[in-house]
Structure 1
Amino acid sequence: MVTSAAVARAAEQVRSQLARETADLTPEVVAAALRADGRPVGDVTVLAVLDVLRRDVLGAGPLEALLELEGVTDVLVNGPDAVYVDRGRGLELTEVRFADDAAVRRLAQRLAGTAGRRLDDASPYVDLRLADGTRLHAVLTPLARPGTSISLRVPRRRTFTLDELATAGGWGGEPLRLMRRVVAHRLAFLVSGGTGSGKTTLLNALLGEVPGDERLVLVEDTRELQPAHPHVVGLEARQANVEGVGSVDLRTLVRQALRMRPDRLVVGEVRGAEVVDLLAALNTGHEGGCGTIHANSAVDVPARVEGLALAAGLPSSAAHVQMRAGLDLVVHCVRDGGRRRLGEIAVLEHTDGRTHAVPAVRFDGSRPRFLPGADRLAALLEGAR
């Protein structure tokens, strides 16, 4: 029986020899490389080494099988000995292991190379989208501990409808009716929540509720939104190439989107200076605009927007005025264990020169609990702004 350790050692031997030669990866080439030192090698060893080397140069290598798992959203590598997946039930440690950190590094570099990006000691991290839509983030050791880190965000194989999402999250009934009314009344909103709370999934489903005769223009850093809608135009940011040129940032794309006659302008994730242009757009007649933003709670969203706007050069007072005039709601997502669900809806109110998010309704499953902002929410849903 050929042990995995023996196969790993043999694969490294062949890898070193092939690095000095130019040859196709075939069983004959592998067998010749293994027998170069005069030792007999069986067919089982040759085929096992060939399989290891092919995984090195095709797809995501040892991670390929994990990416194909049903329902997987993330594959995370923390060095050679810890590979996790998330299938909607929280992180699960898998049995996948790498021979050493050099193997993890090679995989990260190869994946980055397929997208034309450099990953080495001079440029030790990347954030990009692969050809199949998978989002790759990688950081090389020693910046990352306990070893080279790879994070793969897997695109949804299909888009969930709002009904399906509500059923999966256990928030049908009144919460579902409220969200449909938010879209139908063209209210401007941000979907907030922590990492992995389902912000993009919810926004995707909500955009699928937009009437088919409206034009959606999506602006994203990395393409994740794929709403089931007949009229969608997507703009995706681009990072600089290996020569350091060619970058196109989100702020530029938001400005371009405004010239494309959007019925609804959507910013996939608001996390930088683009917040200034989004706020400006929402104050120039572009109703129904929306996006996602990282925040611990709905109440924290105005402070988060203010901080991003200040960093972009917009005074605090102006940011608060534009928030109040351009945004109507914050829709907050939460994660209970492995389940992602709708947590609460907050309305934006302006007092003493500042905008505050006031909780209007909080959800425990399908049971709504109405809070101080409920009257304002009801007025918005009746058309009073």
Structure 2
Amino acid sequence: MDFTITREDWSLHRKGEIDARRHQEKVREAICRRLAEIVTEESIILSNGQRIVRVPIRSLEEYRFRFNYNKMRRVGQGNGKTQVGDLIITGRPRGQGKGAGEEPGIDYYEAEVTIDEIANVLFEELCLPDLKSDRKMQAAVDALEFSDIRKKGLSTNIDRKRTLLAVLKRNALNGRPGFHDIRPEDLRYRTWNPRISSEAGAVVIAMMDTSGSMGPFEKYIARCFFFWVVRFLRTKYQNVEIIYLTHHTEAREVKEEEFFQKGESGGTRCSSVYRLALEIINQRYPPDDYNVYAFHFSDGDNLNTDNDLCISLVQELLKVTNLVGYGEIEGPYYYTSTLKTAYRAINHPRFVTVTLRDKGDVYKALKTFFGRQQSRNEGAS
């Protein structure tokens, strides 16, 4: 009789899984390195949020021996007269220097990532600051869990273990022990129940300047910020309402679609949007029941005669909100006397301002307003 003895390396079966895990780690590292650039990607902001983004990633080479690198006579060997610390060969880094260059570059490829993957990385360290749990609690469905067993249900939800026990029990009671003669009444089905969790109610008031001084760059920066704010709130919180306010010399409440598509026109009177925000809070969201947050983005080109009223209204907002954030966008025409300059008179721990000079500052603003207390203090200007 012939026998065949084989030995199989089972570690090779996990190589695909290991390579896939390493690929995901490299994709995550690439997203983290380019996060400030990715969050302002035009294809994301101007789309419905379902686009796929390409992120360049350095390729990894497997370990292998290399001989006669760059056609050198020997590799790693001297002439026998070298001392410790002597320089064996000089050269310049690859890809540097003038001219077309003869050195090989570093290979990389572009990995496709979804908006959800980017959001998971971006939202890891973000949260609503100073969220108080003593506000009005609202019930929300957190998840669905299979926590009940019934005799009726979907065939795909059959609980095999409990069905087997029911058959064994019935046959034993009838004096015929064993697993046989399965009947419809023996079937057991797993049934799901919603898991209810309570969450403190919160409201976020998004205020955006749509006056004539808000050019394409300023408007795009403001929309980038609020695009990620809306996605962040809907991803991590279930009981957060968002109020959209736009203003020029007058302010009004608009729908979400109009908020992100409205053009610019007219002069600027920022006090109008603060006054409207206070009216909405007092009428619909009493501070004793809600955590209230207010964020205003503008280019700061406000009427000088209106600045004192803005300071007074912001101080009123601070009495009924958890946080008031103001983001000022510096466009190509920078004015030394802006609303941010007037706001230096406000010294309050829950009033945070940021200045945005380029697209990368959108990520800084998100970290400043929604990061930990330490990062907000460091990012505030």
TM-score after normalising by structure 1: 0.31
Relative contact order (alpha carbons < 8 A, sep ≥ 6): 1 or 2 greater? 2
TM-score after normalising by structure 2: 0.31
Q: Give the structure with higher Rg (CA).
A: 2
